[in-house]
Amino acid sequence: MLTGEYDAAGLLRVRDGDRVVWDRALHGIEPDPPSTEAALETWAAAVAAAAERAVAGDTGVAAVKVMAPLSRHETPRVFVVDRAYLEKAERRVGRSEAIWRHWEDGRSLEVDDEGLRARRTLLQDDDLYAPHFAAILQRHVDERTWPDGAVALGNPEAQAPATVPAAPTLEAAPRDEAELAALIARFDLPAGLIETARWGLALVEGEGRSRVGGPPELPGEWPQHEGRPLTHVMTIWLDELPDVPGREHLPPDGTLVFLAALDEEDELVEPVAGDDPRVLLNRFEPGTALQRLAGDPEWTLEERRVRFEPVLTLPDRRDDLPPDQQLGYEQLYEALCAVTPGLGQPGHLVLGHPNFAHWDTREPGDITLLHFGYDYDLSIDGRAFTVHGPPDDVRAGRWERLTVTPQLF
Protein backbone atom coordinates (compact mmCIF):
# COMPACT_ATOMS: atom_id res chain seq x y z
CA MET A 1 0.00 0.00 0.00
CA LEU A 2 1.37 3.43 -0.97
CA THR A 3 1.52 6.07 1.78
CA GLY A 4 2.71 9.66 1.72
CA GLU A 5 4.74 11.65 4.23
CA TYR A 6 4.31 15.41 4.44
CA ASP A 7 6.10 18.42 5.88
CA ALA A 8 5.34 22.16 5.79
CA ALA A 9 6.33 22.37 2.11
CA GLY A 10 3.99 19.57 1.02
CA LEU A 11 4.64 15.98 0.04
CA LEU A 12 8.00 14.77 1.33
CA ARG A 13 8.19 11.15 0.19
CA VAL A 14 6.08 8.17 -0.88
CA ARG A 15 6.53 4.72 0.64
CA ASP A 16 5.41 1.28 -0.46
CA GLY A 17 5.56 -0.43 2.92
CA ASP A 18 9.11 0.18 4.14
CA ARG A 19 10.41 0.98 0.66
CA VAL A 20 10.74 4.62 -0.48
CA VAL A 21 9.46 4.91 -4.06
CA TRP A 22 9.61 8.71 -4.39
CA ASP A 23 11.51 11.32 -2.40
CA ARG A 24 11.33 15.07 -2.98
CA ALA A 25 15.03 15.56 -2.31
CA LEU A 26 16.41 12.44 -3.97
CA HIS A 27 14.07 11.32 -6.70
CA GLY A 28 15.25 12.18 -10.19
CA ILE A 29 11.78 13.09 -11.50
CA GLU A 30 9.84 15.85 -9.78
CA PRO A 31 6.04 15.97 -9.99
CA ASP A 32 5.03 18.00 -13.03
CA PRO A 33 4.49 20.82 -12.16
CA PRO A 34 5.25 21.06 -8.42
CA SER A 35 2.80 23.95 -7.98
CA THR A 36 -0.18 21.67 -8.51
CA GLU A 37 -0.19 20.08 -5.03
CA ALA A 38 -3.28 21.97 -3.88
CA ALA A 39 -5.20 21.01 -7.04
CA LEU A 40 -4.14 17.38 -6.64
CA GLU A 41 -5.49 17.38 -3.09
CA THR A 42 -8.81 18.92 -4.19
CA TRP A 43 -9.23 16.55 -7.12
CA ALA A 44 -8.44 13.49 -4.97
CA ALA A 45 -10.84 14.57 -2.22
CA ALA A 46 -13.65 15.24 -4.69
CA VAL A 47 -13.26 11.89 -6.45
CA ALA A 48 -13.09 9.97 -3.15
CA ALA A 49 -16.28 11.70 -1.96
CA ALA A 50 -18.05 10.99 -5.26
CA ALA A 51 -17.07 7.33 -5.04
CA GLU A 52 -18.36 7.09 -1.48
CA ARG A 53 -21.73 8.48 -2.60
CA ALA A 54 -21.89 6.16 -5.61
CA VAL A 55 -21.51 2.91 -3.67
CA ALA A 56 -23.41 3.83 -0.52
CA GLY A 57 -25.99 1.17 0.19
CA ASP A 58 -24.29 -1.57 -1.85
CA THR A 59 -24.16 -4.97 -0.17
CA GLY A 60 -21.82 -7.91 -0.44
CA VAL A 61 -18.90 -5.58 -1.15
CA ALA A 62 -15.38 -6.90 -0.53
CA ALA A 63 -13.37 -4.09 -2.10
CA VAL A 64 -13.78 -0.75 -3.85
CA LYS A 65 -11.44 0.64 -6.52
CA VAL A 66 -11.46 4.40 -7.07
CA MET A 67 -9.97 5.68 -10.30
CA ALA A 68 -9.03 9.37 -10.58
CA PRO A 69 -7.09 9.64 -13.87
CA LEU A 70 -4.81 12.56 -14.62
CA SER A 71 -5.73 12.47 -18.29
CA ARG A 72 -8.03 14.59 -20.40
CA HIS A 73 -9.42 11.52 -22.17
CA GLU A 74 -10.45 9.48 -19.13
CA THR A 75 -13.20 9.93 -16.59
CA PRO A 76 -13.18 9.08 -12.88
CA ARG A 77 -14.80 5.76 -12.11
CA VAL A 78 -15.47 3.43 -9.21
CA PHE A 79 -15.44 -0.38 -9.33
CA VAL A 80 -17.04 -2.63 -6.72
CA VAL A 81 -15.53 -6.05 -6.11
CA ASP A 82 -18.11 -8.45 -4.67
CA ARG A 83 -17.28 -11.10 -2.10
CA ALA A 84 -18.36 -14.03 -4.27
CA TYR A 85 -15.84 -13.09 -6.96
CA LEU A 86 -13.06 -12.33 -4.52
CA GLU A 87 -13.40 -15.61 -2.65
CA LYS A 88 -12.83 -17.50 -5.89
CA ALA A 89 -10.27 -15.22 -7.50
CA GLU A 90 -7.96 -14.76 -4.52
CA ARG A 91 -7.32 -18.52 -4.44
CA ARG A 92 -5.83 -18.18 -7.92
CA VAL A 93 -3.78 -15.02 -7.77
CA GLY A 94 -3.87 -13.64 -4.23
CA ARG A 95 -6.15 -11.00 -2.74
CA SER A 96 -4.39 -7.83 -3.93
CA GLU A 97 -3.91 -9.11 -7.46
CA ALA A 98 -7.52 -10.31 -7.65
CA ILE A 99 -8.78 -6.87 -6.61
CA TRP A 100 -6.48 -5.14 -9.08
CA ARG A 101 -7.65 -7.33 -11.97
CA HIS A 102 -11.39 -6.77 -11.43
CA TRP A 103 -12.60 -4.21 -13.97
CA GLU A 104 -16.22 -5.29 -14.38
CA ASP A 105 -19.17 -2.89 -14.04
CA GLY A 106 -17.33 0.37 -13.48
CA ARG A 107 -19.48 3.42 -12.73
CA SER A 108 -18.72 6.96 -13.87
CA LEU A 109 -18.53 9.42 -10.97
CA GLU A 110 -20.30 12.75 -10.58
CA VAL A 111 -17.61 14.99 -9.13
CA ASP A 112 -18.55 18.32 -7.56
CA ASP A 113 -17.74 21.65 -9.20
CA GLU A 114 -14.74 22.37 -6.96
CA GLY A 115 -13.18 19.06 -7.96
CA LEU A 116 -13.83 19.69 -11.65
CA ARG A 117 -12.18 23.11 -11.43
CA ALA A 118 -9.14 21.49 -9.84
CA ARG A 119 -9.04 18.94 -12.65
CA ARG A 120 -9.14 21.72 -15.27
CA THR A 121 -6.22 23.39 -13.49
CA LEU A 122 -4.25 20.16 -13.53
CA LEU A 123 -4.94 19.38 -17.19
CA GLN A 124 -4.97 22.86 -18.71
CA ASP A 125 -1.95 22.07 -20.90
CA ASP A 126 -1.75 18.30 -21.23
CA ASP A 127 -2.03 15.03 -19.35
CA LEU A 128 -0.28 15.35 -15.99
CA TYR A 129 2.65 13.29 -14.74
CA ALA A 130 2.44 13.07 -10.94
CA PRO A 131 4.04 9.81 -9.74
CA HIS A 132 2.94 10.40 -6.13
CA PHE A 133 -0.74 11.05 -6.84
CA ALA A 134 -1.79 7.50 -5.92
CA ALA A 135 -0.61 8.17 -2.38
CA ILE A 136 -2.63 11.40 -2.18
CA LEU A 137 -5.74 9.70 -3.50
CA GLN A 138 -5.29 6.74 -1.16
CA ARG A 139 -5.15 9.04 1.85
CA HIS A 140 -8.47 10.62 0.90
CA VAL A 141 -10.01 7.22 0.12
CA ASP A 142 -8.94 5.97 3.56
CA GLU A 143 -10.85 8.83 5.17
CA ARG A 144 -14.14 7.69 3.63
CA THR A 145 -16.63 5.07 4.79
CA TRP A 146 -17.22 2.06 2.55
CA PRO A 147 -20.03 -0.54 2.58
CA ASP A 148 -19.54 -3.65 4.70
CA GLY A 149 -16.15 -2.38 5.86
CA ALA A 150 -14.70 -3.07 2.38
CA VAL A 151 -11.06 -2.37 1.62
CA ALA A 152 -10.70 0.58 -0.78
CA LEU A 153 -7.87 1.33 -3.20
CA GLY A 154 -7.18 4.56 -5.05
CA ASN A 155 -5.68 4.27 -8.56
CA PRO A 156 -4.70 0.66 -7.86
CA GLU A 157 -2.77 0.27 -11.11
CA ALA A 158 -0.10 2.51 -9.56
CA GLN A 159 0.17 0.39 -6.44
CA ALA A 160 2.29 -2.74 -6.46
CA PRO A 161 0.18 -5.84 -5.70
CA ALA A 162 1.16 -8.27 -3.00
CA THR A 163 3.11 -11.39 -3.88
CA VAL A 164 1.03 -13.48 -6.25
CA PRO A 165 0.69 -17.19 -5.45
CA ALA A 166 2.50 -19.32 -7.99
CA ALA A 167 0.24 -20.78 -10.68
CA PRO A 168 0.65 -24.42 -11.67
CA THR A 169 3.57 -24.92 -14.03
CA LEU A 170 3.86 -27.38 -16.91
CA GLU A 171 6.74 -29.70 -17.69
CA ALA A 172 5.79 -30.14 -21.34
CA ALA A 173 3.10 -29.27 -23.85
CA PRO A 174 0.03 -31.55 -23.94
CA ARG A 175 0.45 -34.36 -26.48
CA ASP A 176 -3.23 -34.99 -27.10
CA GLU A 177 -6.73 -33.84 -26.21
CA ALA A 178 -6.86 -36.01 -23.08
CA GLU A 179 -3.76 -34.33 -21.63
CA LEU A 180 -5.11 -30.88 -22.46
CA ALA A 181 -8.46 -31.74 -20.85
CA ALA A 182 -6.60 -32.80 -17.70
CA LEU A 183 -4.78 -29.43 -17.67
CA ILE A 184 -8.07 -27.55 -18.03
CA ALA A 185 -9.39 -29.41 -14.99
CA ARG A 186 -6.15 -28.76 -13.10
CA PHE A 187 -6.73 -25.02 -13.51
CA ASP A 188 -10.35 -25.37 -12.28
CA LEU A 189 -11.81 -24.40 -15.65
CA PRO A 190 -14.93 -25.69 -17.44
CA ALA A 191 -14.41 -29.01 -19.19
CA GLY A 192 -16.13 -27.64 -22.30
CA LEU A 193 -13.09 -25.48 -23.11
CA ILE A 194 -11.53 -28.53 -24.76
CA GLU A 195 -14.03 -28.03 -27.60
CA THR A 196 -12.21 -24.82 -28.60
CA ALA A 197 -8.81 -26.53 -28.97
CA ARG A 198 -7.24 -26.71 -32.43
CA TRP A 199 -4.20 -28.52 -33.70
CA GLY A 200 -1.52 -26.29 -35.16
CA LEU A 201 1.90 -26.81 -36.72
CA ALA A 202 4.68 -24.85 -35.05
CA LEU A 203 7.57 -23.71 -37.22
CA VAL A 204 10.69 -24.77 -35.32
CA GLU A 205 14.28 -24.66 -36.49
CA GLY A 206 15.07 -27.61 -38.73
CA GLU A 207 16.53 -28.79 -42.03
CA GLY A 208 13.50 -28.70 -44.32
CA ARG A 209 13.00 -26.67 -47.45
CA SER A 210 10.42 -24.49 -45.73
CA ARG A 211 11.80 -21.35 -44.15
CA VAL A 212 11.15 -17.93 -42.70
CA GLY A 213 13.12 -14.90 -43.85
CA GLY A 214 15.88 -14.81 -46.42
CA PRO A 215 15.30 -13.89 -50.08
CA PRO A 216 12.22 -15.33 -51.81
CA GLU A 217 12.16 -18.20 -54.27
CA LEU A 218 9.85 -17.19 -57.10
CA PRO A 219 9.39 -17.90 -60.81
CA GLY A 220 9.81 -14.23 -61.72
CA GLU A 221 11.22 -10.97 -60.45
CA TRP A 222 11.17 -9.73 -56.85
CA PRO A 223 7.70 -8.17 -56.22
CA GLN A 224 7.61 -4.46 -55.44
CA HIS A 225 5.15 -1.87 -54.25
CA GLU A 226 5.69 1.67 -55.60
CA GLY A 227 9.31 0.87 -56.36
CA ARG A 228 10.14 -0.71 -53.00
CA PRO A 229 10.66 -4.50 -52.73
CA LEU A 230 8.32 -6.53 -50.54
CA THR A 231 10.00 -8.52 -47.78
CA HIS A 232 9.90 -12.30 -47.89
CA VAL A 233 8.28 -13.48 -44.67
CA MET A 234 7.64 -17.19 -45.10
CA THR A 235 7.78 -20.03 -47.63
CA ILE A 236 5.96 -23.31 -46.87
CA TRP A 237 6.53 -26.48 -48.88
CA LEU A 238 3.13 -28.01 -48.27
CA ASP A 239 4.25 -31.62 -48.68
CA GLU A 240 6.38 -31.16 -45.52
CA LEU A 241 3.33 -30.59 -43.31
CA PRO A 242 2.50 -33.47 -40.93
CA ASP A 243 -0.99 -34.92 -40.89
CA VAL A 244 -3.02 -33.38 -38.03
CA PRO A 245 -6.75 -32.57 -37.71
CA GLY A 246 -7.28 -29.51 -39.90
CA ARG A 247 -4.50 -30.40 -42.33
CA GLU A 248 -7.21 -31.36 -44.84
CA HIS A 249 -8.04 -27.66 -45.26
CA LEU A 250 -4.68 -27.04 -46.96
CA PRO A 251 -3.55 -28.19 -50.41
CA PRO A 252 -1.54 -31.43 -50.25
CA ASP A 253 1.47 -30.09 -52.11
CA GLY A 254 2.96 -27.10 -53.86
CA THR A 255 4.79 -24.11 -52.41
CA LEU A 256 3.06 -21.36 -50.42
CA VAL A 257 4.89 -18.01 -50.43
CA PHE A 258 4.09 -14.92 -48.36
CA LEU A 259 5.73 -11.49 -48.75
CA ALA A 260 4.68 -8.20 -47.15
CA ALA A 261 5.66 -4.54 -47.15
CA LEU A 262 7.76 -3.69 -44.10
CA ASP A 263 9.01 -0.30 -45.28
CA GLU A 264 7.77 2.61 -43.15
CA GLU A 265 6.12 4.24 -46.15
CA ASP A 266 4.14 1.10 -47.07
CA GLU A 267 3.79 -0.44 -43.62
CA LEU A 268 0.60 -2.37 -42.99
CA VAL A 269 -1.30 -1.15 -39.95
CA GLU A 270 -4.80 -2.51 -40.64
CA PRO A 271 -6.14 -5.81 -42.00
CA VAL A 272 -6.04 -6.07 -45.82
CA ALA A 273 -7.28 -8.57 -48.39
CA GLY A 274 -4.94 -11.19 -49.78
CA ASP A 275 -4.75 -9.37 -53.11
CA ASP A 276 -3.61 -6.06 -51.62
CA PRO A 277 -0.54 -4.82 -53.56
CA ARG A 278 1.43 -4.57 -50.31
CA VAL A 279 1.34 -8.34 -49.85
CA LEU A 280 2.03 -11.36 -52.02
CA LEU A 281 0.26 -14.57 -51.05
CA ASN A 282 0.45 -17.33 -53.61
CA ARG A 283 0.76 -21.07 -54.05
CA PHE A 284 2.88 -22.46 -56.84
CA GLU A 285 2.10 -25.88 -58.27
CA PRO A 286 4.60 -28.72 -57.88
CA GLY A 287 7.19 -28.56 -60.62
CA THR A 288 7.10 -24.77 -60.94
CA ALA A 289 10.61 -23.49 -61.67
CA LEU A 290 11.39 -21.38 -58.59
CA GLN A 291 14.65 -19.49 -58.36
CA ARG A 292 16.24 -17.93 -55.32
CA LEU A 293 16.34 -14.21 -55.99
CA ALA A 294 19.22 -11.93 -55.15
CA GLY A 295 18.34 -8.63 -53.57
CA ASP A 296 19.31 -5.78 -51.27
CA PRO A 297 19.84 -6.99 -47.67
CA GLU A 298 17.86 -3.93 -46.54
CA TRP A 299 14.70 -5.73 -47.63
CA THR A 300 15.68 -9.19 -46.39
CA LEU A 301 15.16 -10.76 -42.98
CA GLU A 302 17.59 -13.19 -41.45
CA GLU A 303 16.91 -16.69 -42.76
CA ARG A 304 15.90 -19.77 -40.78
CA ARG A 305 15.08 -23.23 -42.15
CA VAL A 306 12.18 -24.83 -40.32
CA ARG A 307 10.31 -28.07 -39.73
CA PHE A 308 6.76 -28.50 -38.43
CA GLU A 309 5.86 -29.78 -34.96
CA PRO A 310 2.21 -30.63 -34.15
CA VAL A 311 0.91 -28.67 -31.13
CA LEU A 312 -2.46 -28.29 -29.41
CA THR A 313 -3.59 -24.69 -29.06
CA LEU A 314 -6.36 -22.75 -27.33
CA PRO A 315 -7.66 -19.23 -28.09
CA ASP A 316 -5.37 -16.66 -26.47
CA ARG A 317 -8.25 -15.14 -24.48
CA ARG A 318 -11.83 -15.90 -23.45
CA ASP A 319 -13.76 -12.78 -22.54
CA ASP A 320 -16.97 -14.77 -22.13
CA LEU A 321 -15.78 -16.44 -18.92
CA PRO A 322 -16.64 -15.13 -15.43
CA PRO A 323 -13.86 -12.93 -13.96
CA ASP A 324 -12.42 -15.60 -11.66
CA GLN A 325 -12.30 -18.12 -14.51
CA GLN A 326 -10.69 -15.54 -16.77
CA LEU A 327 -7.83 -15.35 -14.27
CA GLY A 328 -7.47 -19.12 -14.35
CA TYR A 329 -7.59 -19.11 -18.16
CA GLU A 330 -4.84 -16.48 -18.33
CA GLN A 331 -2.69 -18.63 -16.08
CA LEU A 332 -3.34 -21.74 -18.16
CA TYR A 333 -2.56 -19.90 -21.38
CA GLU A 334 0.65 -18.41 -20.00
CA ALA A 335 1.71 -21.86 -18.82
CA LEU A 336 0.99 -23.33 -22.27
CA CYS A 337 2.96 -20.57 -24.01
CA ALA A 338 5.99 -21.37 -21.85
CA VAL A 339 6.16 -24.99 -23.07
CA THR A 340 4.42 -25.03 -26.46
CA PRO A 341 6.45 -24.31 -29.63
CA GLY A 342 4.78 -21.72 -31.83
CA LEU A 343 3.09 -19.89 -28.94
CA GLY A 344 6.13 -18.39 -27.24
CA GLN A 345 9.02 -16.67 -28.97
CA PRO A 346 9.38 -17.27 -31.89
CA GLY A 347 5.65 -17.66 -32.41
CA HIS A 348 5.25 -18.97 -35.95
CA LEU A 349 2.32 -21.27 -36.69
CA VAL A 350 0.36 -22.95 -39.47
CA LEU A 351 -3.27 -23.70 -38.51
CA GLY A 352 -4.23 -23.63 -34.81
CA HIS A 353 -4.86 -20.61 -32.60
CA PRO A 354 -1.98 -18.10 -32.74
CA ASN A 355 -0.75 -16.08 -29.78
CA PHE A 356 -1.91 -12.68 -30.99
CA ALA A 357 0.01 -9.53 -30.09
CA HIS A 358 -3.15 -7.54 -29.33
CA TRP A 359 -6.43 -8.84 -30.70
CA ASP A 360 -7.93 -11.75 -32.61
CA THR A 361 -9.57 -10.40 -35.79
CA ARG A 362 -10.61 -13.78 -37.18
CA GLU A 363 -14.28 -14.24 -37.97
CA PRO A 364 -16.06 -17.18 -36.31
CA GLY A 365 -15.10 -20.32 -38.24
CA ASP A 366 -11.98 -18.79 -39.82
CA ILE A 367 -8.88 -20.93 -39.89
CA THR A 368 -5.32 -19.69 -39.67
CA LEU A 369 -3.41 -20.35 -42.87
CA LEU A 370 -0.22 -19.05 -41.31
CA HIS A 371 0.92 -16.82 -38.48
CA PHE A 372 4.27 -15.06 -38.28
CA GLY A 373 4.75 -13.91 -34.69
CA TYR A 374 7.33 -11.83 -32.92
CA ASP A 375 10.86 -13.04 -33.71
CA TYR A 376 13.70 -10.92 -32.37
CA ASP A 377 16.38 -12.99 -34.09
CA LEU A 378 14.97 -12.21 -37.54
CA SER A 379 15.18 -8.44 -36.96
CA ILE A 380 11.55 -7.77 -37.88
CA ASP A 381 11.13 -4.92 -35.36
CA GLY A 382 8.12 -6.22 -33.46
CA ARG A 383 5.79 -6.95 -36.37
CA ALA A 384 3.46 -9.92 -36.67
CA PHE A 385 1.16 -11.15 -39.44
CA THR A 386 -1.77 -13.55 -39.47
CA VAL A 387 -3.29 -14.86 -42.71
CA HIS A 388 -6.77 -16.28 -42.11
CA GLY A 389 -10.11 -16.90 -43.75
CA PRO A 390 -13.00 -19.32 -44.28
CA PRO A 391 -11.99 -22.98 -44.71
CA ASP A 392 -13.66 -23.20 -48.15
CA ASP A 393 -11.55 -20.32 -49.48
CA VAL A 394 -8.37 -21.81 -48.05
CA ARG A 395 -9.09 -25.25 -49.55
CA ALA A 396 -9.88 -23.71 -52.94
CA GLY A 397 -6.81 -21.49 -52.95
CA ARG A 398 -8.86 -18.29 -53.20
CA TRP A 399 -6.07 -16.30 -51.60
CA GLU A 400 -7.59 -12.95 -52.61
CA ARG A 401 -10.51 -13.66 -50.25
CA LEU A 402 -8.28 -14.26 -47.25
CA THR A 403 -7.34 -11.54 -44.77
CA VAL A 404 -3.82 -10.47 -43.81
CA THR A 405 -3.88 -8.97 -40.31
CA PRO A 406 -0.76 -7.08 -39.20
CA GLN A 407 -0.02 -6.37 -35.56
CA LEU A 408 2.72 -4.40 -33.85
CA PHE A 409 4.25 -5.26 -30.48
Asked if pLDDT for residue 214 goes beyond 60, the answer is: yes
Mean pLDDT of the chain: 84
Rounded distance between C-alpha atoms, residue 157 and residue 118, angstroms: 22
Tell which residue, 229, 215, 293, has the closest CA to residue 262: 229
Rounded distance between C-alpha atoms, residue 310 and residue 198, angstroms: 10
Strand (E) or helix (H) holding 83: helix 83-93
What pLDDT score does 175 carry? 94
Rounded distance between C-alpha atoms, residue 157 and residue 170, angstroms: 29
What pLDDT score does 24 carry? 61
Comparing 401 with 160, the larger pLDDT belongs to 401
Asked if pLDDT for residue 8 goes beyond 80, the answer is: no
What pLDDT score does 104 carry? 77
Tell which residue, 255, 261, 265, 316, has the closest CA to residue 286: 255
Superfamily of domain 177-408: YwqG-like (2.30.320.10)
What pLDDT score does 178 carry? 96
Which tens digit of pLDDT belongs to each residue from 10-62? 666 666 666 666 666 655 444 444 457 888 899 999 999 999 999 998 888 98
Asked if pLDDT for residue 106 goes beyond 60, the answer is: yes
Where are the strands (E) in 126-277, listed by range?
151-154, 198-205, 211-212, 217-218, 224-225, 228-229, 231-237, 255-260, 272-273
What pLDDT score does 236 carry? 95
Please return the burial class of 196, using the count of CB atoms within 10 Å of its CB with bins 0-12, 13-18 and 19+: exposed
Asked if pLDDT for residue 359 goes beyond 70, the answer is: yes
Give residue 190's pLDDT band: very low, low, confident or very high (50, 70, 90): very high
Rounded distance between C-alpha atoms, residue 77 and residue 167, angstroms: 31
Strand (E) or helix (H) holding 388: strand 383-389
Q: Calculate mean pLDDT across residues 284-297.
A: 86
What pLDDT score does 247 carry? 94
What pLDDT score does 28 carry? 45
What pLDDT score does 30 carry? 45
Tell which residue, 398, 376, 375, has the closest CA to residue 387: 398
Asked if pLDDT for residue 245 goes beyond 50, the answer is: yes
Comparing 281 with 125, the larger pLDDT belongs to 281
- Ranges of each domain in the chain: 2-158, 177-408
Asked if pLDDT for residue 194 goes beyond 50, the answer is: yes
